[in-house]
C-alpha cells in the first residue's frame, strides 16, 4: 500500500468538481434545513472520469484478488472505525432514526468481509469436465476477466448501503467503478469516496454527483451498468444499454406480498409484518406492501398488527436512539402515500391507525388499511411508504392467486406453522425470493441471489460466486492435451472416409441405444445404399 514520504496516501478515490455555480442542495427531510451541497457533474466530466478510471483499472486487475482483498479489508476497517460519523451523515440527509442509520455501515462491512475473503476462490479459473470422451483431448478453461469500468447508480433509501452492495463486488472482481448516487442523498457516497482515499487505495473508485443527466452519461459510457431504482427509469436504462450492446442488471420496484396462513404463529407474524412494512418508513424495495390473511385468523391478526403498528415511536433522533420510524425521503414520496390512502378510503377502505402526515418535515404516520381490494392503488401500485393494506382471503389458493396478481415479483413472505406447507407456498409464488416466517432474511445472506421477476428487474446481485462474476466477461480457452497432428480428421480438404470415422465416433459418444452403432446410416451419408 504505497504512501508518500509524508505518510499521506499516494492515490485516492476521485470526486469530480464541476463549476461552483452548478450545485445541488441537500436537505434534511425531517426539518427541511439545508445540510450540504454537491456538484451537478456534467456529461463531459463523467466522460473524463471514466477515461481516467480505465487507465488505472488495468493495474487494479493485475494485482490479483488477494491484494485487492487487502485494500477492501482496509476499507472495512475504516467503515467500522467511522461508524458514528457515517451514521451522522446518513441521518442528516435521510431523517432516519439512529438505529436505522447504524445499519448501513455495519451491513456494508459484513458484505465487504464476505466478498473480499472469497473473491480469489470465486474468480479462479475453472476447468470443466468435457461433455464426452472425444472432448478429453482438450484441456478446457473458463477465465473471468472484469469489465473495465462498472457504472453503479443508486437510490436514496439507503445512501451508504446501496452503493456498497454493488461497488464492493465490482471492485473485488477487478473492475473500476464510477458511482452516481441519488441527488437526494449524495453525502454518504462522498463519505465512501473519502474513506477509499484516506486508506490510500488505488484510484479505481470515482463518485460523480448530479441529477438525471449525470446518470445518463454514466449509462452512455460505462462498460456495465448496475442500477437500483424505479421501473420507469430502469426501462430507459435497459433500452440505452441494448443500443450500445452493454450488459446491465436492474433492481427495480416491488409490491411484496405477505401471506398469513391460519396455522401461523400470529404474534410472530404480526410483529414481523409490522417491521417488514414500517422499517425505514416503508422505503425498502422489499418492504411488505400488501398482506393476505386466511379468514379464520383474520380478525385476530388484524388486531395484533394494528396494535403493533400503533405502538411504534415516530420522530427525529439525534445520536440517541429514541424512535422506530423516521421521516420519508422527500415530499414526492409523501404525496404518493397520501394519494394511495385517500383513494383507498374513497373506495371504501378503512384506516385502523395512522393515515396522515404529522409534525414538521416529511413524517407520515404508520398506517394500517383494511377492506381493500385489487382495484385500489394501495394494492396495485408500489407505495414505498409506511402503509400496510390487509385483505381477507378464503384459503391458501386464493392467497397465492392474489399474491401473484401483480406486475412485480421482487420478494414475498409466508407465515405458517407447517414447514412443508411454507415451502409449497413459497415455490408457488412469482417472486425472486420468499422468506418463510421472516422478513428481509434473504437480504442478509450473500450466498443467495437477490433479483426480481417481471417489472421488478433483470438480473440479480450476489448469489455467492455470481456476485463477482456478474462483473466479468467469461472467456473460454481450449488447449491440446495430446501431441497434435498436421491435420485433424474433419479439416478441409475433406476425406469422406475420415469424416465418416469422426461422425461415427461422435454418434457413438452422444446417441443412445442402437442408434449409437447404426452403420447403415453412415453408409447412406457416403452414398452407398448397400
Positions marked active-site: 251, 285
Question: Residue 99: phi, psi to the nearest 5?
Answer: -60, -45
Name the strand (E) or helix (H) holding 390: strand 387-393
Spatial CB neighbours of 29, under 8 Å, sequence gap ≥ 6: 94, 95, 327, 328, 329, 330, 361, 362
Nine-digit cell string for 124: 479462479
Residue 361 CB contacts under 8 Å (≥ 6 apart), including other chains: 28, 29, 30, 31, 32, 95, 316, 327
Instruction: Take residue 16 and report the three cell numbers written for it.
Output: 469530480
Q: Name 120's Cβ contacts closer than 8 Å, sequence gap at least 6.
A: 64, 65, 66, 69
CA–CA separation, 291 and 434 (whole Å): 14
Instruction: Give the distance, in angstroms, between the CA of residue 502 and the centroid of all CA atoms in the same chain.
Output: 48
Parallel/antiparallel/unpaired status of strands 411-415 and 256-260: parallel
Q: CA 472 to CA 467: how far, in whole Å?
A: 10
**Strand (E) or helix (H) holding 92:** helix 83-94
> Quick one: 404 exposed, middle or buried, by C-beta within 10 A (0-12, 13-18, 19+)?
middle
Provide the β-strand partners of residue 151: 178, 225
Amino acid at each position: 500500500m504505497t504512501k508518500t514520504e509524508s505518510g499521506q496516501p499516494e492515490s485516492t478515490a476521485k470526486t469530480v468538481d464541476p463549476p461552483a455555480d452548478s450545485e445541488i442542495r441537500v436537505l434534511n427531510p425531517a426539518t427541511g434545513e439545508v445540510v450540504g451541497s454537491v456538484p451537478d457533474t456534467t456529461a463531459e466530466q463523467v466522460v473524463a472520469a471514466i477515461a481516467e478510471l480505465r487507465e488505472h483499472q488495468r493495474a487494479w486487475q493485475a494485482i490479483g484478488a488477494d491484494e485487492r482483498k487487502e485494500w477492501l479489508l482496509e476499507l472495512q476497517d475504516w467503515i467500522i472505525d467511522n461508524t458514528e460519523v457515517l451514521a451522522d451523515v446518513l441521518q442528516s440527509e435521510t431523517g432516519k432514526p439512529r438505529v436505522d442509520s447504524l445499519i448501513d455501515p455495519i451491513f456494508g462491512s459484513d458484505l465487504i468481509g464476505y466478498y473480499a475473503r472469497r473473491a480469489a476462490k470465486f474468480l479462479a479459473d475453472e476447468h470443466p469436465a468435457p461433455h464426452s470422451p472425444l472432448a478429453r483431448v482438450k484441456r478446457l478453461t473458463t477465465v473471468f476477466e472484469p469489465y473495465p469500468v462498472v457504472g453503479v447508480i443508486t437510490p436514496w433509501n439507503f445512501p451508504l448501503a446501496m452503493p456498497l452492495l454493488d461497488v464492493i463486488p465490482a471492485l473485488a472482481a477487478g473492475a473500476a467503478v464510477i458511482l452516481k448516487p441519488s441527488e437526494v442523498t449524495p453525502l454518504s457516497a462522498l463519505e465512501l469516496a473519502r474513506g477509499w482515499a484516506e486508506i490510500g487505495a488505488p484510484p479505481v473508485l470515482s463518485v460523480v454527483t448530479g441529477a438525471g443527466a449525470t446518470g445518463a452519461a454514466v449509462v452512455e459510457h460505462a462498460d456495465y451498468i448496475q442500477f437500483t431504482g424505479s421501473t420507469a427509469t430502469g426501462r430507459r436504462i435497459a433500452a440505452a444499454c441494448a443500443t450500445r450492446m452493454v450488459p446491465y442488471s436492474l433492481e427495480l420496484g416491488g409490491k411484496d406480498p405477505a401471506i398469513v396462513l391460519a396455522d401461523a404463529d400470529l404474534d410472530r407474524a404480526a410483529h414481523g409484518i409490522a417491521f417488514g412494512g414500517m422499517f425505514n418508513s416503508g422505503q425498502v424495495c422489499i418492504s411488505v406492501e400488501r398482506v393476505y390473511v386466511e379468514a379464520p385468523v383474520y380478525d385476530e391478526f388484524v388486531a395484533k398488527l394494528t396494535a403493533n403498528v400503533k405502538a411504534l415511536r415516530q420522530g427525529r433522533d439525534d445520536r440517541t436512539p429514541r424512535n422506530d420510524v423516521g421521516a420519508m425521503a422527500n415530499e414526492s414520496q409523501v404525496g404518493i402515500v397520501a394519494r394511495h390512502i385517500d383513494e383507498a378510503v374513497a373506495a371504501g377502505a378503512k384506516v385502523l391507525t395512522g393515515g396522515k402526515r404529522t409534525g414538521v418535515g416529511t413524517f407520515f404516520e404508520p398506517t394500517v388499511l383494511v377492506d381493500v381490494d385489487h382495484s385500489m392503488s394501495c394494492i396495485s401500485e408500489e407505495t414505498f411508504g409506511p402503509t400496510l393494506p390487509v385483505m381477507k382471503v378464503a384459503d391458501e389458493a386464493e392467497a397465492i392467486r392474489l399474491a401473484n396478481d401483480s406486475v412485480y415479483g421482487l420478494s414475498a413472505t409466508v407465515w405458517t406453522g407447517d414447514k412443508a406447507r411454507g415451502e409449497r407456498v413459497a415455490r408457488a409464488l412469482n417472486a425472486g425470493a420468499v422468506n418463510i416466517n421472516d422478513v428481509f432474511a434473504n437480504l442478509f445472506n450473500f450466498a443467495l441471489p437477490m433479483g426480481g421477476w417481471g417489472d421488478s428487474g433483470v438480473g440479480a446481485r450476489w448469489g455467492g460466486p455470481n456476485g463477482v462474476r456478474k462483473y466479468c466477461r467469461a472467456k473460454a480457452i481450449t488447449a491440446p492435451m495430446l501431441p497434435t497432428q498436421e491435420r485433424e480428421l474433419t479439416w478441409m480438404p475433406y476425406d469422406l472416409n475420415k469424416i465418416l470415422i469422426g461422425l461415427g465416433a461422435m454418434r457413438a459418444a452422444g446417441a443412445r441405444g442402437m442408434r449409437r452403432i447404426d452403420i447403415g446410416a453412415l453408409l447412406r451419408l457416403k452414398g452407398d445404399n448397400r
